[in-house]
Amino acid sequence: MSHHLDSDLARQDSRLDLTDQYVFRGTSGTVLVMNVNSTILGDDYREGFHPEARYEFKVHLDGHAVEDLTYRVTFGPVENGRQAVTLWTLTDKDAEDDAAIGQQVAQGRTGETISGPDGLKMWAGKVREPFYNDLTLLPALAAAVQNGTRPDLGKWRPDQAKNAFETVNVNSIVLEIPDGGPLRPGRDIAVWTVTKLATDAGGWQQVNRQATPMLWPLIRTAHRDWAIAANRAHPQNDVRDDGARLAGIIAAVVEASGTAQDPAAYGKTLVKRLLPDLMPYSVGTKASFALAGVNGRNLADNAVEVMFSLVFNAAIPLGLRPEQTAATRSADFPYVVPISS
């Protein structure tokens, strides 16, 4: 859960709360995964997907500042534990227009594989949480980021780390878009996901957006007003709105930690990598979210360790390994592991 409860509406309704995004190579095309609505919220968890919301995958082509392609997913009310689910595609100018209807390309129900044109596949439902993290480490690091201080890890020992999400479930939307068309092998894309809720005035309010794992809980969520404003914004404005502030926060942390000779330069360099908040991917290639660079994100990638180490410019081992969560992933579509209803 690398993105969590950082807007007022997401706090009020867990079904709107984005938790993770993944982009990787599947068996027949590019896989887009959006996870929402974690059961880790306990009594605040609400079953299913919001029937008055939109769940959208935004795809930028060839380095464009705005999305050229949107995959919009909508749901009906919960009936006997299932929901109707519909997929729409929007292209060109329609991709960034909430008023545009787009083209309906697939329809079915949660918990089942839904087929679309040219081999497109979709699946939505409750799954085992593939994200892994030891939540005893995050508060100390987030406090250091917020205060610009050296992190106090206390008695933290990586060899004693425990995955706080081992018994957690999450709602997942999975698309596999076959090779060809706009997502042809070799093409550079960038992806972000967003939840939107219908307003009384007939429009749509952006609730949550995400792309880079841990950017929000480690940095933005510590500054509540910043997180709320950022959730309402478009990634094309990230550098203008957030660049200087984020660079300053990172510079203060590495200066306090003594991990960079020129903290200000390091902060600016890392901001160039983190903003705009989009996940780059070269279609048809093996995905990897790593210290060396980002090319999508696999379900197994240790994104938490990568982001901790980048922000502090120092190795911060999480103590958890991908093989420990192998039971939350599958080699076959939908790649996540469904929970039987």
| Domain presence at residue 340 | no
| Domain presence at residue 2 | no
DSSP state of 233: S
pLDDT value of residue 129: 97
Residue 211 φ then ψ, to 5°: -160, -65
| Domain presence at residue 144 | yes
Q: What is the pTM of this model?
A: 0.95
pLDDT value of residue 154: 84
| Domain presence at residue 334 | no
pLDDT value of residue 26: 98
For the chain (length 341 residues), average pLDDT per consecutive 10? 52 89 97 96 90 97 98 96 97 97 98 96 98 91 92 89 95 97 96 94 92 90 78 96 94 96 98 97 98 97 96 95 97 95 56
| Domain presence at residue 72 | yes
pLDDT value of residue 2: 46
List the beta strands (DSSP E) in 240-327. 279-282, 288-290, 293-295
The length of the chain in residues reads 341
Decide: 318 and 137 in contact? Cβ < 8 Å.
yes
| Domain presence at residue 214 | yes
**Domain span including residue 197:** 8-328
| Domain presence at residue 118 | yes
Decide: 304 and 210 in contact? Cβ < 8 Å.
no
Total count of domains within the chain: 1
DSSP state of 266: H
Triad 127, 210, 48: Cα angle to 5°: 35
Q: Cα(126)–Cα(111) distance, rounded to whole angstroms?
A: 8
pLDDT value of residue 153: 87
Beta bridge mates, 191: 59, 279
